[in-house]
Amino acid sequence: MTNETILVVEDNSIIAAHLQRVLQGFGYNVPRTVTTGEAAVQAANEIKPDLALVDIQLAGKMDGIEASRIMQSNQDMPIVFLTAYAEDERLEQAKLTQPYGYLVKPVQERELYATLEMAFCKHRLTRTLQASEERYRKLIEQIRAVTYLDRLDEYSSSFYMSPQIEQLVGYPPEEWLNDKELWIKLLHPEDRDFVVAENERTNKTGENFNIEYRMVAKDGHIVWVHDEAVLTYDGSGKPYAWHGIMYDITAKKQSEEALRESESRFRLLFNNTIDAILVCPITTEGEIGKFIEVNDVACTMLGYQREELLKLSYTDLIWNKDKDRISDTIRSLEKTKHLLFETILLAKDGSMIPVECNSDVFQYKEQTLTLSIVRDISERKKSEEIIRERENLILAISESSPDLIYVYDFELKKIIFTNKPSLDILGYSDDEFVEINWNLMKNVCHPEDLPKIKDHLKKCTQAKDNELVTLEYRVRKKDGDYAWFYNRDRVFKRNEDG
């Protein structure tokens, strides 16, 4: 049994009564029949039928077609038309109301039942489809992306565009549907050629459309989009439309650009320092890994191309005699997080480069790294060697001189250097001289000469550079005798105060 309610609209009372009895016999509920279009509209509003069986030709001002249009606008229900003539020109007008069936009088009962059941079935399927489409529409209109359906033409003109497009570029869906060239117009001038070329290529090959490009929004600002689309096919297997999704990647592109600018600034500083910079990992086993970053100065200093140097580690560069110290150096570095040390690195050509390494340990992406600022100290080492040689030469000269040579520090008020002949003449050992040096004038100078010694020291402090200050005085030797000395003193170094 079926419980659907049917409204019969038929101006022939005999046919109307017959249809009512037949339909009730099928199990349908037919509470009334009406004869005019106006009455049909009123009855539909009152009884809310599940279907209306309507004669196209009705008596009165409103025919069945107009009545059906009004009833459908007030309520979602299927219409099945009755007509006396299959070729009736009004039948063509009736099609505009999208009826669910047509029956030609006189109506056969089996045909009537089959048509009504098919109308109910089709209506249920339509409602299900509409509900599904509504859910899908609400879904795609809630996501933060634009969905669209485009034709396979040179403009990729749209026949569906989701509302998000207005937020993206300022143009509502209606403008996209009405202007088939709008997408082409909005493409950034610098991107237009390659985007259009990719569109033409995928139209021909059927491959997925997947591309990033810029569009100019309605207010003039630039929008970066990621556009993906797949080609869909109709029931016969022919290409039907591009089903795509487009989302805003402007923030991502701005971040990428900011990152590139930051990296560019870092790279500029990194490669324009006066020192070499080497970055390498320290493994969990405490071993040094291959370099993961080097600057241009490091490449120039060691004579390697960057790609070559990134295949090496410190163990490949450190002088053989220093390699035994690598493990101790790494342990100290891991413990203190900072270490300053000197070593010798081997350049690609085999030359030895003395360097000072200023190394720090830091964590990056769950990895322990060491960054070393490496300075070539070849010139400093040469200078130090020259200074040592000069010092040794001066020492050799002073030790071989028969005269007493000494250096007196006015701030410490003691002699800070004396040659060996000085000690031999006075008869003191090194340790004995250190002991008496803290109060030298009182310990070894003749008491009568102390005033002129103090005056001599004062003259030395007031002397100009390279000015010679002389003095004769007596010094007590270890055996107690006094020896006369003739001093010729010259100031050769001053403090900040002069």
Return the structure tokens found at 16: 């109307």
CA 236 to each of CA 206, 208, 239, 441: distance values in angstroms, whole numbers, following the listed order = 16, 20, 9, 121
Split at pLDDT 50, 70, 90, the class of 190 is very high
Query: Measuring CA to CA, which residue among 419, 389, 399 is closest to residue 407?
Result: 419
Return the structure tokens found at 196: 């259009």
Return the structure tokens found at 213: 């490009």
Cβ burial, residue 328 (10 Å; 0-12/13-18/19+): exposed
Report the chain's mean pLDDT, rounded to a whole number: 85
Taking only the tens place, the pLDDT of each residue in 337-351 is 888 888 889 999 999
Residue 90 in this model has a pLDDT that exceeds 70? no
Please compute the mean of the pLDDT values over residues 321-335 and round it to a whole number.
76
Please compute the mean of the pLDDT values over residues 478-493 and round it to a whole number.
82
- Residue 143: alpha-carbon gap to chain centroid: 23
Please compute the mean of the pLDDT values over residues 480-488 and round it to a whole number.
86
Residue 89 in this model has a pLDDT that exceeds 70? no
Angle between helices 13-26 and 109-142 (to 10 degrees): 70
Query: Measuring CA to CA, which residue among 94, 101, 102, 106 is closest to residue 66?
Result: 94
Return the structure tokens found at 480: 């107690």
pLDDT at 309: 92
Please compute the mean of the pLDDT values over residues 258-284 and round it to a whole number.
79
For every residue of 279-318, DSSP letters joined together read: EEEB-TTS-B---SEE-HHHHHHHT--HHHHTT--HHHHB
Residue 470 in this model has a pLDDT that exceeds 50? yes
pLDDT at 1: 45
In terms of average pLDDT, the best of 39-43, 94-98, 419-423, 473-477 is 39-43
- 9 bridge partner residues: 34, 54
Please compute the mean of the pLDDT values over residues 104-130 and round it to a whole number.
86
Q: What percent of the chain has pLDDT over 70?
A: 94
Q: Are strands 79-83 and 51-55 parallel, antiparallel or unpaired?
A: parallel
Please compute the mean of the pLDDT values over residues 307-319 and round it to a whole number.
88
Higher pLDDT, 4 or 98: 4
Split at pLDDT 50, 70, 90, the class of 332 is confident
pLDDT at 102: 82
Pairwise CA distance, residues 458 & 83, whole Å: 140
Pairwise CA distance, residues 479 & 461, whole Å: 32
CA 438 to each of CA 288, 295, 449: distance values in angstroms, whole numbers, following the listed order = 52, 54, 18
Taking only the tens place, the pLDDT of each residue in 227-242 is 999 999 887 888 889 9
In terms of average pLDDT, the best of 9-23, 95-109, 139-153 is 9-23
Please compute the mean of the pLDDT values over residues 376-404 and round it to a whole number.
80
Helix and strand tally (H, E) in the chain?
Answer: 20, 19
Q: What percent of the chain has pLDDT over 90?
A: 28
Please compute the mean of the pLDDT values over residues 93-115 and round it to a whole number.
83
Query: Measuring CA to CA, which residue among 29, 12, 117, 478 is closest to residue 20?
Result: 29
Please compute the mean of the pLDDT values over residues 381-405 and round it to a whole number.
78
Residue 491 in this model has a pLDDT that exceeds 80? no
Instruction: Check if the beta carbon of residue 341 is closer than 8 Å to that of residue 370.
Output: no
Residue 193 in this model has a pLDDT that exceeds 80? yes
